């Protein structure tokens, strides 16, 4: 059996690592690992192979940054060439990035089955490039690994062609696998100095590419009245510079921007923080792990992770600065600690995926 994995960005490295290790380390099945190179900065790519204890990719297409079509097309051509050479039994992708869509298209055109890890998520927000990527990939896939029964139900409702399996989310596997090492990792100096802090990430295109929305978010975040440590995605740093907003962030006196941190430091911060503010997808899932169990306020108008809302971890607070600071302050007053169930599985999603594929493929 020859699995062919395609990854392109930070979260794909994290969430795919436990699946690759399940094949290679536990079953002795060598995988081909192609990195499209969509993420390429040391702090967005290499650092994660180290932190996930994952071997280097077999190939890097170095596609870099660009428009959606540029990234998708460059990756499509490179992946096709690699597939023709490697002749794998299956192409495995995770999530909803441009790398995922490119790999799915390249594979189905060559009649190679696609397995989609984290299938069936829907935000129903058509502004999001990820919503198109995940929908198209789900409909091109032969194996759909839905993290929850709810996402499986969405796929059934859309009459996808492939077979649906509920597996849990591999993010829980990754987190449980690396948390012991994370607890020995240093906290970034500013987090150490503050002692009590809130963790923020912000990078969604619909939030940071629009000046008025980004201004509103910074203003509102400054009004919550808590110290916020913000490992900022390069996209957000670039937009803050382009919109001349770096000073505005400093003037809040509350938002402390740092470079993106590796996975181990990030997990440690997630474990130690008061609560999380984010527009990330993966972070909404990670906070639900029983080892973390934190509240997360989702700075978006929708979420494709409603399970985390139902479990009591997440609250979608929107991006309106006249509303979200008050909503968050009210929740802080009510108290943030509670027992909550994890909706994303028990940390065995990777094993289930590998079991299903080894049973069904030659
Ligand atoms: C991509 C994914 C998004 C995912 C995110 C994970 C798509 C459509 N978007 O968004 O779903 O949540 O990755 O973090 O696939 N940049 C660097 N160094 C890097 C990478 C990016 O400086 O290593 C900067 C460049 O200015 C680039 C910008 O960030 O133009 C955006 O990068 P890009 O990969 O296009 O999208 P992300 O916002 O990272
Ligand atoms: N993350 C990290 N360092 C950071 C910010 C995020 O290790 O500075 C991790 C985080 O733990 C999660 C993943 O990156 O596993 C989320 O990636 P991102 O928010 O970029 O993408 P999304 O999940 O929204 O697609």
Same domain for 350 and 327: no
Same domain for 194 and 125: no
Same domain for 227 and 155: no
Whether 322 has a pLDDT exceeding 80, the answer reads: yes
Reading the block at residue 97, the tokens are 């990035």
Q: For position 270, what pLDDT does the model report?
A: 98
Same domain for 162 and 40: yes
Ligand 1 centroid – CA 36 distance (Å): 12
Same domain for 97 and 61: yes
130 lines ligand 1 (CB under 6 A): yes
Same domain for 189 and 141: no
Same domain for 40 and 156: yes
Nearest C-alpha neighbor of 343 from the set 305, 316, 317:
305
54: CATH: 3.40.50.2000
Same domain for 260 and 325: yes
Query: Which numbered atom of ligand 1 lies nearest the CA of 100?
Result: 15
Reading the block at residue 336, the tokens are 């943030």
**Domain-embedded: residue 176:** no
Ligand 2 centroid – CA 11 distance (Å): 6
**Domain-embedded: residue 314:** yes
Instruction: Encode pLDDT of 15-69 as tens digits.
Output: 999 999 999 999 999 999 999 999 999 999 999 999 999 999 999 999 999 999 9
**Domain-embedded: residue 260:** yes
Averaged pLDDT, 201-212: 98
Query: Which numbered atom of ligand 1 lies nearest the CA of 98?
Result: 15
Q: Could you tell me the strand order of the sheet in which 255-258 lies? A: 255-258, 228-231, 198-201, 276-278, 296-298, 314-316
Same domain for 204 and 122: no
**Domain-embedded: residue 218:** yes
DSSP-assigned beta bridge partners for residue 93: 116
Q: For position 224, what pLDDT does the model report?
A: 98
The range of the structural domain enclosing residue 158 comes to: 3-169+346-360
Query: Which numbered atom of ligand 1 lies nearest the CA of 95?
Result: 11
Same domain for 121 and 38: yes
To the nearest whole number, what is the mean pLDDT of the chain?
98
Whether 142 has a pLDDT exceeding 80, the answer reads: yes
Percent pLDDT > 70 in the chain is 100
Protein residue with least CA distance to atom 13, ligand 1: 9
Q: Which ligand is nearest to the CA of 66?
A: 1
Same domain for 218 and 124: no
Averaged pLDDT, 61-80: 98
**Domain-embedded: residue 341:** no
**Domain-embedded: residue 244:** yes
**Domain-embedded: residue 263:** yes
Averaged pLDDT, 259-272: 98
Whether 231 has a pLDDT exceeding 90, the answer reads: yes
Active site residue 203: yes
Q: CA angle 223-195-347, nearest 5°?
A: 95
Please state, in angstroms and rounded to a whole number, the distance separating the CA atoms of residues 149 and 226.
37
Instruction: Encode pLDDT of 294-313 as tens digits.
Output: 999 999 999 999 999 999 99
- pLDDT level of residue 267 (50, 70, 90 thresholds): very high
Report the half-sphere exposure of 217 (CA within 13 A, side-chain side): 30
Q: For position 17, what pLDDT does the model report?
A: 98
Ligand 2 centroid – CA 130 distance (Å): 15
Same domain for 158 and 63: yes
How many domains would you assign to the chain? 2
DSSP-assigned beta bridge partners for residue 202: none
Averaged pLDDT, 143-172: 98
Please state, in angstroms and rounded to a whole number, the distance separating the CA atoms of residues 319 and 278.
11
Q: For position 284, what pLDDT does the model report?
A: 98
**Domain-embedded: residue 339:** no
Whether 280 has a pLDDT exceeding 80, the answer reads: yes
Whether 245 has a pLDDT exceeding 90, the answer reads: yes
Q: For position 362, what pLDDT does the model report?
A: 77
Please state, in angstroms and rounded to a whole number, the distance separating the CA atoms of residues 333 and 329.
6
């Amino acid at each position: 059996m020859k699995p062919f994995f395609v990854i392109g960005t930070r979260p794909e490295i994290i969430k795919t690592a436990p699946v690759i290790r399940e094949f290679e380390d536990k079953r002795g099945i060598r995988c081909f690992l192609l990195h499209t190179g969509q993420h390429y900065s040391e702090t967005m790519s290499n650092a994660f192979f180290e932190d996930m204890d994952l071997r280097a990719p077999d190939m890097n297409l170095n596609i870099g940054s660009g428009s959606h079509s540029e990234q998708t097309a460059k990756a499509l051509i490179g992946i096709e060439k690699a597939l023709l050479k490697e002749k794998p039994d299956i192409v495995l992708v995770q999530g909803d990035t441009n790398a995922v869509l490119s790999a799915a298209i390249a594979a189905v055109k060559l009649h190679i089955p696609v397995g989609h890890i984290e299938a069936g998520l829907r935000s129903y927000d058509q502004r999001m490039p990820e919503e198109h990527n995940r929908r198209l990939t789900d409909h091109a896939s032969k194996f759909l690994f839905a993290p929850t029964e709810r996402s499986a139900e969405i796929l059934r409702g859309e009459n996808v062609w492939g077979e649906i399996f509920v597996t849990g989310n591999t993010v829980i596997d990754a987190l449980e696998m690396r948390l012991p090492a994370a607890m020995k990792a240093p906290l970034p100096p500013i987090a150490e100095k503050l002692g009590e802090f809130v963790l923020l990430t912000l990078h969604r295109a619909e939030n940071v590419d629009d000046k008025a929305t980004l201004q509103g978010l910074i203003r509102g975040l400054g009004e919550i009245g808590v110290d916020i440590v913000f490992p900022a995605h390069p996209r957000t740093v670039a937009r803050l510079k382009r919109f001349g907003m770096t000073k505005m962030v400093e003037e809040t006196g509350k938002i402390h921007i740092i470079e993106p941190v590796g996975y181990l430091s990030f997990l440690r911060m997630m474990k130690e923080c008061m609560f999380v503010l984010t527009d990330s997808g993966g972070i909404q899932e990670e906070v639900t792990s029983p080892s973390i169990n934190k509240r997360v306020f989702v700075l978006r108008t929708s979420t494709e992770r409603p399970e985390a809302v139902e479990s009591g971890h997440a609250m979608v607070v929107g991006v309106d600065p006249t509303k979200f600071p008050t909503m968050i302050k009210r929740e802080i007053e009510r108290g943030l600690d509670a027992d909550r169930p994890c909706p994303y599985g028990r940390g065995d999603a990777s094993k289930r995926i590998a079991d299903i594929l080894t049973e069904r493929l030659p």
